[in-house]
Every structure is written in structure tokens, then in C-alpha cells.
Structure 1
Amino acid sequence: MSDASEALRSELLAVALEAARRAGELLRDGRPDDLGVAATKTSSVDVVTEMDIAAEKLITAHLAEHRPDDGVLGEEGAATEGSSGVRWIVDPLDGTVNYLYGLPSWAVSVAAEYRGETLVGVVEAPLRRETYRAVLGRGAYCDGPSETGRKLAVRPSPPLERALIGTGFGYLAERRARQARIAGRLIPGFRDIRRGGSAAIDLCDVAGGRLDGYYERGLNPWDFAAGDLIAREAGALTGGRPGQPLSGELTVAASPGVFGPLQELLEELGAWHD
């Protein structure tokens, strides 16, 4: 357990919540209504990229104002070392294809590490009207349109053959093809597989009991930093290959009874390599 004070944890949570909320509003309110109609045009993709960058700039400016001595690692290139021992890990728009097409499963992900350990995670999903948050040692919660501070807990673990498992596919065609082959081999042994399009939301859905487990290859720290903490604080187990932490090689999160069998099956099928 980190030696960070309770005051620091509370401060980091407040900063993360406000940064994620502001970025979510920017992305929601700034998205052109006809963006999905023109989704095949290069100009549409450019608009998404511009919104992504604008959201990261908004977040980093907020962090610089309130926590000027902290480091930052962002998907869109933000990278500062800092001197406080705190580092922010930011994905300003997780689920860009969903955003492009007007699907609701996209999110802003903001996490704060202290001396290498994640202390705070916030995932803001504006079109789902949900804010997921967790502080190390304090549990995980979801604030939604009809509730405030609903405590999250993973579902009771079913046998693997009755588990609903989430996954994601990479952007590279060869990797995506292999991931599809592995998913095809997995489906008969599960209740079913879901592909949501946002790693941050998938991890939160494990935390909230909407999925029994989730796995994906090829993620970056900004994809899973906040969602990993939220899932763990809700009672999930997370990791990569057996005995290893979650990483770009493989990310696995599941309720305790599903985690081990799922991880072993993914290892057997070679889901950790292309």
C-alpha cells in the first residue's frame, strides 16, 4: 500500500474528476452532428484527431494549474517528468472509432500514480452519463444520472462456460486477424464475447458486473491505468500473462473465479503474441 496521505489521495481525486468532466463536456458538445455521416472521409478522422488533441490540452492545462510539479504521460504526446512523485496518465478519448460513428462507448480516462503506484482512477463516459472513480484502498464507485456514489462490485464468478467476456482488437490488420481467430476459438467455451471498443469502459464494466471478464492485447498505459484501479477496487483480479502484471503484451481483468481459468486459457492459445 502506498504511503501517500489521505489528503493527497482526496486532492488527486478532485483534480482528476474535474479534468475528466471538462474534457468529456468538450468532446460531447464539440462533436459535429454530421460527423458519423461522413465517417469514411479523411476530414472526419481529422476532426476526431483535433478533438482528441484539444481534450488532452484541456486536461494538461488543468493539471498544470492545480498540480504544476507533477509529471504527465498522455496518449497525444504529453510527457513531462515532474518533481512531486505524482504522474498523471491520460487518455483524452478512449474509443475514437465509437466517437467517430456516434456510438456511446467512448470515455476520458485520467489516472494518477504516486511513486509508481496508481492512487486514483477516473473514467468519464459522457454519453452513458456515468463517471467511474476509484481511490486506492477506498473502493470503486459510479456516479450516474439516477444515483450518486453507487459502490461497484464484480459479479459472483460463474463457471467459465457461463461467463460473458469482453475483448478488443488492434488497428493493424494482421494483429486484428489473429485476435479474431483466437476469439473464434474462445467463443464456444464462454456464454458469449462482447467487443465494446473502449478498454477503459470494458474495465469499468467488469467492475460494475456488466462483464465477467475482459482481455486484450496491445494496450498502452493510458488505456488501462484508470480502469485497472477501478476494476481492482471493485474486487476484480487483473494481470497479464500468468505471474506478470498487465501490459501491452496482454491485459486481463475478471472476477476472482473467472480470472485464473481465463488467464490460463489465453496463455494456452497464445493470445499474448501476434
Structure 2
Amino acid sequence: MTDDLLTLARDTALAAGELVKRRRAEGVTVADLKSSPVDVVTNADRESEALIRSILARARPNDGFFGEEGASGIAEQDAGTSGLTWIVDPIDGTVNYLYDIPHYAISIAVVEGTPDPLTWTALAGCVLNPASGELYTATPGGGAFLGEQRLAVAPAVELSQALVGTGFSYSSQTRAHQGRVVARLLPEVRDIRRMGAAALDLCAVASGRLNAYYERGLSPWDHAAAALIAREAGALVVGENGRPPSKEFILAGEESVVRALELRLLHFGV
């Protein structure tokens, strides 16, 4: 069953990827604002979600759906009756997409349960970067892949040698605090990367391009697929106080790096 779900997720992501890549070539403008003046949504976000939703509904009409944009541009949930829910980010990294920075993604996951990362069980996940064509996939116990290549996290390193990814909130007050944390962390690691697409950051952990990644404030669609991919590549993916990752906190990487980084972040008040 999980293989069939993954095939559907992959085929749907590829179809949406063609759409958003075409729209990017035609030119993109801001359609609306969400949580702040810098939290934008484009028409392509909405078109992508509508396409994904229609493909999934035709294939699996009884499944639930939870997408970032919704019909009115606001996240909304359809519960469904099958016990499965599709968690969708139609364009992760919309600001990158707006500026034509080729680092954005379509993220599609299917989970058993409700769209609550504290309780769901992820069954399949797919993350596609339409600009590069890189396609990440995973199923529980089936491993994580970039195309046909099986993925594994980078080997253990001392924290001082770790390349760490993070992201920032759309709230200016929260961003100011996050900046202070980064300023304290920076001298203690190899370097920091802030690339602007959480799903791709987690996939970078899975592929060994980052040693670790952390962030607060992610929504379920930001990490539903990519956390599974990172975990299947051997990463430890944790939330706050040992709980599963959620909006409160997510930290991923090789286990010893995660444990060392977690201590520093707690000390800095992340």
C-alpha cells in the first residue's frame, strides 16, 4: 500500500512541478499577504494546490486533505473517511520562487491520522525541487532516495565541524530573537545556512549536504514529507522535550550532532 501511495505522491508532485515551473517562466507576482507583509502567496501557489488536490481526489476520494493555501488562500482541512490525510505544501519557499531563486519545492505526504504531527504516522513522502528536478522520496522502512540514489546522513562530526541549516519566522520580533541565537551559535559550528525552504533543508540533511537543521514555527506541511525522508536516511528528527517534531520545534541530523546542538540551542534559549 505504501508503494502505491508513494507513486501517487510522486506523480502528483511531478505534475504540479511542471505547472509551477511554467508559471515561474511566465513571471510571478504577489497575489496576497498572509501572516505578515513579508509572508506572501502567489497565484501559482493556489494553482498548484488546486491541481494537487484534484489529482488526489480523483485517485483517492475518501482520503482527507490538509493544504497550506486552501480555496480561499487560507489553510484548511477536509477530514475524509479513510483515516488517511494528505499534507501538502504547493510551493515551499514562495519568497525564493517570487525572486526566481531556484530553491523551492513541492511537498506531498500522506499520513495515517489527523494533520497533527504529534500523533500522525507518515506513510509516504515526496519533495520535488522543480527548478533542479531533484526528487526526494521515502516510505517507512523503505529508505530515502534522491531519484534512484539511496540517501544516508553525513557521518558524525564534532559540533565545531557541523554545517547547520535553519530558517526564520515571518514575525519581525521573532526574527530578531532568532538572529541573536544564530549570532551565538555561529562561532561554535562550521557555518550556518539559511536557504529559505524547510522541506529542502530537511532533505539536505538526508542527503548529507547539511549536518543538521533546526527551526521553530514550522507548519505541518513544511515538514510532513521531509521529516520522513530525513528519518529514513538515518537522521534523528526530534521536537521539543523529546516529543515528535511540531510547530514548537524541529531538529534533525546525525544523532550525536543533534544531541550536541540541542544542548547549545537550549542554552541559547532557542
Q: Normalising by the residue count of structure 2, what TM-score does the alignment of the two structures yield? A: 0.90
- CA offset at residue 10 of structure 1? 1.2
Q: Distance in 2 between matches of 1:131 and 1:34?
A: 24
- CA offset at residue 16 of structure 1? 0.3
1:127 counterpart = 2:112 = no
- CA offset at residue 178 of structure 1? 0.8
- Structure 1 residues 79-98: aligned runs within 5 Å: 79-98=77-96
1:223 is aligned to 222
1:137 counterpart = 2:141 = yes
2:170 is aligned to 171
- Structure 1 residues 243-262: aligned runs within 5 Å: 243-262=242-261
Q: Distance in 2 between matches of 1:259 and 1:34?
A: 40
> Structure 1 stretches (4+) deviating beyond 2 angstroms?
32-35
Contact 2:24 2:100 in 1 (8 A): no
Contact 1:241 1:263 in 2 (8 A): no
1:161-209 Cα distance to aligned partner (Å, 9 max, x none) = 1000000001111111111110000000000000010000000000000
- CA offset at residue 99 of structure 1? 0.2
1:75-117 Cα distance to aligned partner (Å, 9 max, x none) = 1124111111111000000000100111111000000002420
1:195-241 Cα distance to aligned partner (Å, 9 max, x none) = 01000000000000000000011100000000000000000001112
2:112 is aligned to 114
RMSD, aligned α-carbons: 1.2
Query: Which amino acid counterpart does residue 202 of structure 1 have in structure 2?
Result: D
Query: Which amino acid counterpart does residue 22 of structure 1 have in structure 2?
Result: A
Q: Normalising by the residue count of structure 1, what TM-score does the alignment of the two structures yield? A: 0.89
Q: Distance in 2 between matches of 1:239 and 1:201?
A: 17
Q: Distance in 2 between matches of 1:34 and 1:265?
A: 43
Gaps of 5+ in 1: 1-7, 36-43, 144-148
Equivalences, count:
251
Identical pairs, percent: 48
Gaps of 5+ in 2: 33-40, 71-75, 114-119
Contact 1:241 1:267 in 2 (8 A): no
